[in-house]
Structure 1
Amino acid sequence: ANEIFDLMEKFAGYGFNKSHAAAYALLAYHTAWLKAHYTAEFFSGNMSVSSDDTDKLKIFHDDATQNFGITFTPPDVNQGEWRFVPTGKKTICYALGAIKGTGQGAIEALVRERKENGPFKSFFDFCARVDRKQVNKRVAEALIKAGAFDALEPHRASLLASVGLAFEYADTLVANADQGGLFDFGDSHAASTNEPELVTAEPWTLKERLSLEKTAIGFYLSGHLFDEAESEVRRFARQRIGDLKDSRDPQVVAGIVSELRVINGARGRVAIFKLDDKSDVIEAVANQDTLDANKDLLKDDELVVITGKVQNDRFSGGLRLNVQQVMSLATARCKFARFVRLQAHGTQLPVAELLREFPARRVPAPQPDLPESVQGLPIRVVVERRTPELSARAELELGDTARVFPSEQALLRCKELMPQASAQVVYGEG
């Protein structure tokens, strides 16, 4: 009896019988075979099962695109289904059912109408044809934010502003279905069924478009907020997050803030967030002093440049970034760039107006006995003169008083005031 009990005790620690182990091995083999030979179908099935779990969808999406060369076509009201659908060996149509705020009934009604009466021709045609008891304004807005109408109309801001108008147009068609107007002759321009124009709206910036896309899908699908600034940021923050290693030396890292939360620690409040530069994501930690000094920068979807130490995190097993300094891109330009270059092209440049609107900023010294610092970049103007006899080029620096704070607003204003000047922030030797 003691011998039998000892065997049971040993097995109770951890043990599988042969049939159990064989079943798991066979299942693992089948799964790996499907993933290798039917990659698009494999990911489509897994993502369809997990369509309500954004975190899992992001993991599957990154695995498919980065390791297997799969391309996801964006959600499309004329192509998409409730589920993820493989449209080729290496392409998958993103599921309309994975868009937050839609619902299975609404998507199935949409797909049924499309299959019975053909593709939708416009946003107004869509609103007129779908069952509006199933597809309401909230569903239409979610589809717009996710980019499901981009093939019909890429101007998402105008579409979103036109939702109310489109549903009123659809109601008018229903109300006038059995009534004929005096001047209604088929497709005449005088017909009461002519679609109205979309509401005019200011186009969304890349940040606005991707942020709204993220609210609908759960992550950035058509691009990344880091794309817009990556080429410039790599001039001074050369280290990608995916290449970071444990180091005692401070490192300069840039990325997009996400999943920011503030907790109460033993030494005050602590900000914990993720920093993402497309190559990878790292968890970052900032103490209360750093958090208080950078409240406007440390928020979701903001691009920040961080100086900090990268260390192994014994809890997660990965790396952690201990934040020492946080900078906006404009402040980083002041620290790492040399000057702003403008091309004269034989015309007068309203530099004085630019300097009045965006002067250099004075930053108080951390200690009373130290001088205050100035954040701004000097301006250089390139002047060229060419005649049949000679050619001359000079680059004039306008002096310390002509320093501009190089924010995005300042650079945009520079393009408005001086469209031919080709404003350029110059790093290194320029």
Structure 2
Amino acid sequence: RGNYRFEPVTDKVIRYGLGAVKGTGQLAVEAVVRAREEGGPFKSLYDFCVRIDRQRINKRTVEALIKAGAFDAIQQNRASLIASVDRAFEFANATAANAAQVDIFGDSEHGSATAEPELVDATPWGVKERLTFEKTAVGFYLSGHLFDEVSHEVRRFCKREITDLLDSRDQQVIAGIVSDFRVINGQRGRLAIFKLDDKSDSIDATADEALMNANRNTLKDDELVIVSGRLQPARGGFEARFQVQQVWDLASARCRFGKFLRVAVNGKAPDIARLLKDFPARTEQSEHGELVQGLPVRLSMARGGAQVELQLGERAKFFPTDAALASWTAQAEAGKAAVIYE
């Protein structure tokens, strides 16, 4: 429905301008609008590619529109649409060739319309992949927020939202998605400056060079981090800033804040040796010596109304990545495996 520019629909609704999608341009959008006005709403990706002026719109433009969500009313699976762009252009070119043949011979026997092929079967993108592509197309998350995917678990151990930060010099723990990450040269070495956003609010944050280097795989755009630090209140025309002193990704936070993984079993234990081999606890050097990063495991069994939990020993700690938790869950009774935080 969109045109090149943003348009008010009601007092509270604005229709997004297709010209604001990166990779389009005014001529391309005008070609889309013209085709839509002449032939009505597009029925499919193939219908779109057949009807638009392909001299004005190339494959990259179509891919940008898909990533932005412009085709969601036609097909929700953006991954399938992206995988089908080449097929759709081939179909459009074949349809145009058939139409040209009809014009030459003056009858339809020498050129007939071809039935639209199926879209390429592709696994739908997860929330992070979908929103990351969306951000490349429109510049920000439009249909959701990266924090949505993890908020339920994160809020079990990190209760304080950014909007509820206390005006205090005490240490506080918050979580958020990193954005606008950049590095500057400060008075005491290089300094990382970035925004943390947990959907309730966002705040500027800083991390010194040592902390930045120790967490270079975590402190980057579009990544979830859980951080501990102190709030530097707004003063002298400067906005409030959060001085980060510790950083965890979600797996490390599970080790730091989680008590254990509870795994339901009923007559058949998981392949514990294999799981520990695939996802061993991690060791890291600190000023206090070697530290083990791992989550303990308890096996939970129920019989005739009675329940018992078996705590596995220290050697049974594992590093709780998403893949590790999925593997424990797959071997648990009825898929019942959960990190217990309190």
Q: Tell me the TM-score normalized by structure 1.
A: 0.73
Tell whether 2:68 aligns with 1:150.
no
Q: What is residue 18 of structure 2 aligned with on the other side?
A: 96
2:298 matched to which residue of 1?
Answer: 380
- Deviation of 1:343 (Å): 1.7
Query: Partner letter of residue 334 of structure 2?
Result: Q
Which amino acid letter does the alignment assign opposite residue 75 of structure 2? E
Query: For residue 321 of structure 1, what is the aligned residue in structure 2?
Result: 242
Aligned to 2:117: 196
Residue matched to 2:336? 422
For 2:241, give the aligned amino acid.
R
- Kindly provide the amino acid, as one letter, of the partner of residue 336 in structure 1: F
| Greater RCO structure (CA 8 Å; 6+ sep) | 2
Identity of aligned residues (%): 55
Change (3 A) 1:378 1:196: same
Matched, 1:266 2:180: no
Describe the shift of the 1:419–1:179 C-alpha distance in structure 2 as closer, same or farther (beyond 3 A): farther
Query: Contact (CA 8 Å) 2:263, 2:329: kept in 1 or not?
Result: no
Residue 232 of structure 2 aligns to a residue whose secondary structure is: strand
In structure 2, the gaps of 5 or more residues are: 103-107
Name the SS for the 1:246 alignment partner.
Answer: coil
Q: Could you tell me which amino acid in structure 2 is paired with residue 252 of structure 1?
A: V
Structure 1 residue runs of 5 or longer lacking an equivalent are 1-78, 181-185
Is the contact between residue 342 and residue 379 of structure 1 (CA under 8 Å) also seen in structure 2? Answer: yes
State the AA in 1 paired with 2:277: R
From the CA coordinates, give the structure whose radius of gyration is larger: 1
What letter is aligned with 1:396?
L
Contact kept, 8 Å, 2:265 with 2:333, in 1: the verdict is no
Indicate if the aligned counterparts of 2:264 and 2:332 stay in contact, CA closer than 8 A. Answer: no
Structure 1 residue 345, shift from structure 2 partner:
4.1
- 1:335-364: per-residue Cα shift (whole Å, max 9, x none)? 111111112244442233221111111122
Q: How far did residue 272 of structure 1 move? A: 0.7
Q: Which moved more, 1:212-221 or 1:154-163?
A: 154-163
CA displacement, residues 305-354 of structure 1 (integer Å, 9 cap, x when unaligned): 11111012446532111111111111111111111111224444223322
3-state DSSP of counterpart to 1:169: helix
Equivalent residue runs for 1:236-255 within 5 Å: 236-255=157-176
Residue 313 of structure 2 is aligned to residue 399 of structure 1: yes
The residue type paired with residue 411 of structure 1 is L
> Which amino acid counterpart does residue 112 of structure 1 have in structure 2?
R
Report the counterpart of residue 127 of structure 1 in structure 2. 49
Root-mean-square deviation (CA), in Å? 2.0
From 190, 206, 219, the counterpart of 1:285: 206
| Number of aligned residue pairs | 334
Match of 1:207 in 2: 128
Match of 1:167 in 2: 89
CA contact (8 A) 1:145 1:213 kept: yes
Say whether 1:140 aligns with 2:58.
no
Residue equivalent to 2:259: 338
| CA displacement at 1:378 relative to structure 2 | 1.1
Q: What amino acid maps onto 2:65 in structure 1?
A: L
Deviation for aligned residue 1:119:
1.1
Which sits farther off after the overlay, 399-408 or 199-208? 199-208
- So what's the TM-score if we normalise by structure 2? 0.91
Task: Provide the secondary structure at the position in 2 that maps to 1:176.
Answer: helix
In the alignment, is residue 360 of structure 1 matched against residue 278 of structure 2? no
